[in-house]
Structure formats: structure tokens, C-alpha cells
Structure 1
Amino acid sequence: MTDQIYTVSCHILNSHEGKPLEKITCELHELGLDGSYNLASQETDKDGRVGKDLWKIKKEKFVLSAGKTYMIRFQTKKCYYDIIKENTLYPYIDIPFLIAENDSRTHYHIPLLLNNFGYTTYRGS
């Protein structure tokens, strides 16, 4: 493993309405063989984003490392669909991602395009 510093941000858009979703709780977890560790959380801003420097840290200190798997949990039902009183298939959406040993990119952006009964994601920039 390297001593490289990695960062992560995320973004959520309602693809049905074409608008960002504000105040969605996003939780950053590290996934390991012995379970999941909640590292940080934050609500999305008015543009539906959590910037790389805006996470509220749960642990005293953590560093994202190459060769490890992380996950962002988007709390879609309780933070959005319950409020607007619409049904959804997904109470939350987990998007796991791997920081590869040989990846020269140091920033990971995890976008979520959401509608009531489906979603998609991709490697953002």
C-alpha cells in the first residue's frame, strides 16, 4: 500500500425530476472482513452534494487507503420519500467502491441518480 491520501465526495439527483436532493443523510463506511465501520456522515447541500472536506468524522481520525473497500449509504426513504409522501422500493441505497492499489486518481466521486423504483451510479470526477 502507498502513503497516498485519497478523498471522497458524493452527489444525489432525482432523475425523474432532474433536480438535486438536499438534506439526504450520507454515511461513509469502511467495509472489512469483520464488518462495517461508520467513518463519517453528512447531509447533502442544496446542490445535492457532500464535498470531500465536509464529512462529519465519526472516528477520531481516519484515512482512506488503497486496497480497501468503502461504501456510501444514502438514506433516501427517511430523508426524502417519507417527507414527500411517496413510495419507493429502496429504504436506503448502499454504493460500495474499491480504492484500487494501482489507481493514480486520488479523488473518488460517487454520484447517485435516483427515482422511486430505480437508481444508477458511476465513477464521477
Structure 2
Amino acid sequence: MARNSAGPKSFSRALLRAGLTVAVAGAALGVGGAAAASAAPEPAAPQAADDVTAAGAGLLQAVQGGLGPAKDLKLNPLAGTGVDPLDNAVGASVADFKPITTAAATGPLAGGASLDELPLVGPATGLLPG
């Protein structure tokens, strides 16, 4: 039985060669960019108070940009599907007392609630920026 000359081994070699070519080209561009960056004159050093103010403003902007959308994300990606493990409740009742179930704990997550919609944690997320 004859072997095919363009088997998986030759494809693997071609892929390796292409990867090495891209890596060498990237390294060459990086060296050229570093030389151009080192030739630029250095700006005068800003005041230390300006640095702290700018860093604080940048940090606040980053926290607002990161936490704002995170507070609105659905915590349970399986909510509303037929395979959601939190979409069940176990209950027990003793004599004439009111039955106790786990629905109060798993209900908001099974319904697709986000972080700011949870019963105990939701009001606390109002303290976070964003």
C-alpha cells in the first residue's frame, strides 16, 4: 500500500515553518520599534501631585468600567434552561408549622438574577462604583 506524501507530518512541518516565519517577522518589527522609541527625546518629569491625581482618576475609571457591567451580568448561565441544577427546591414540613424550602436561596439564581438583583448582596452593590 502506497503512502500519501502530503500526510499529517508534512502539514505539521508547514505549520511550524509558518509559525516560525511569523515569530521572526514580529521580532524584527519589535526591534525596529524599540530603536525608534529609544531615539525619541524624553519629556520633562511631571509634578508628583499630578501623578497621584492622574493615577487615582485612572484607577477610578478602570474600576467603574470593570464593575459596572459585572454587576449586571447573569450569574447563572444555565438559568431558564432545562438543565439548570438550581431550578429545584427541597422542602420539609413538620406537624402544623410552615414548610421550609430551599426556594428562597436558589430562586433568584434559578430565575437568572444578576449580582445587583440578589436579595442580600444587591443593596451592597450600590456602594461599588459603576
Q: TM-score range by the shorter chain?
A: under 0.3
Structure with greater proportional helix content = 2
Structure with greater proportional strand content = 1
Report the structure number with the largest CA radius of gyration: 2
